Structure 1
Amino acid sequence: MNDRSPDAQFTITRVFDAPRELVWRAWTESADAAEWWHPRDIVIKDGSVAVDARPGGRYAYTMVNPADGTEYPTVGVYREVVPPRRLVFTWASPGEPDETAPVVTVDLRELDDDRTEMLFHLRGFPGRPGDANVYDGWDSAFDLLGEQLAAQVR
């Protein structure tokens, strides 16, 4: 992952029409994560998602661009896991040091009527709406997450 800067950061906030426990599971269960841990038009390599959502646990997945076969492996370490409210984890390419990797914080807040507010914050990598890069990639993935959650609560 290039273009990193320790001072760069961005936040995306979403509200999902799903209970917080369901959103939590989407972040912490391998089968659920495999459905949305990628932007639209990118896929997850079969069998590549592994999640050990506990402090010190690791996760890994590989996105694939079906148009040209380019693979994007991603790994990280969970620094904080507070079910079903908060996740803090590193976000890097394999081989990058965990100590200098960008850090993702996901806070989930229960709202009325079984809705959940998700505050996603990425520190250590720049992003802005329309960048056709990291911000837009995560934003697109959250669209898929919303669709997945909507299908589960019907």
Structure 2
Amino acid sequence: MSDLANRTLTIEKIFNAPVKLVWDAWTQSEHILKWWAPKGMNIKVIEHNFKVGGKWKYSMPMPDGNEFISEGTYKEIKEFKKIITSADFKPMTENVELQTYFEADGNKTKFTFRVIHATPEYCKQQEEMGFYNGWGSALNRLETILETLKN
């Protein structure tokens, strides 16, 4: 697994919110609905069984009438610390692993998001397709939601 670094895309962020709030916004359907999809798009939570072995599945209707499906199975959950899940984002990204880490830092949360791909080539292709822009904008929306939840 020495090529793990070449197969991983990582985003690190400090959220100006306590870890429990960030955790809730990441794990509860009513919050996910507000930040997971690109700005101006809607999302439906089809399934969200937040436990190890549980499945999640979200659908986003596209302007052309097709649906963009995000789904996976939770592999590991350590409350307020980490979530590891398989993930498919059909039709663009399949068979990746999402690793999400939460670290309390007073009233802030150090947040690390990693996506592990099957091969370095696939990882590079995903990066070139706009990984950092896409997830970056979703995490910016999450940040906005956190501000609302704090008040």
TM-score by length of 1: 0.79
Output one character per residue of 1:42-86: Cα deviation in whole Å (capped at 9) or x when no partner.
Answer: 3214xx343212111110101233x43442111100000000110
Q: What does residue 23 of structure 1 align with?
A: 22
Select the residue among 120, 135, 139 that pairs with 2:113: 120
Alignment of 1:35 with 2:20, yes or no, is: no
- Structure having the higher helix fraction is 2
Corresponding residue number in structure 1 for 2:7:
8
Structure 2: distance between partners of 1:71 and 1:13:
29
Structure 1 position 117, deviation (Å):
1.0
Residue ranges of structure 1 left out of the alignment (5+ in a row): 1-6, 95-99
Q: Structure 1 residues 42, 9: closer, same or farther in 2, change over 3 A?
A: farther
Instruction: State the match for 1:150 in structure 2.
Output: 147
Q: What TM-score, normalized by structure 2, do the two folds share?
A: 0.81
Among candidates 96, 100, 105, match of residue 102 of structure 1 = 96
The one of 114, 138, 142 equivalent to 1:141 is: 138
Q: Is the strand fraction higher in 1 or 2?
A: 2
Runs in 1 of length 4+ with deviation above 3 angstroms? 67-70
Partner of 2:71: 75
Where structure 2 has 5 or more consecutive residues not aligned to the other structure, the ranges are 1-5
- Which residue, out of 88, 92, 97, partners 1:92? 88
Q: SS of the counterpart of 1:84?
A: coil
Confirm or deny that 1:59 pairs with 2:37: no
Deviation at 1:34, TM superposition (A): 1.1
CA–CA distance in structure 1, aligned partners of residues 97 and 59 of structure 2: 18
Displacement of 1:132: 5.4
Q: Please provide the CA RMSD for this pair.
A: 2.0
Which residue identity lines up with residue 75 of structure 1 in the other structure? E
Inter-CA distance 63–108: structure 2 relative to 1 (3 Å threshold): same
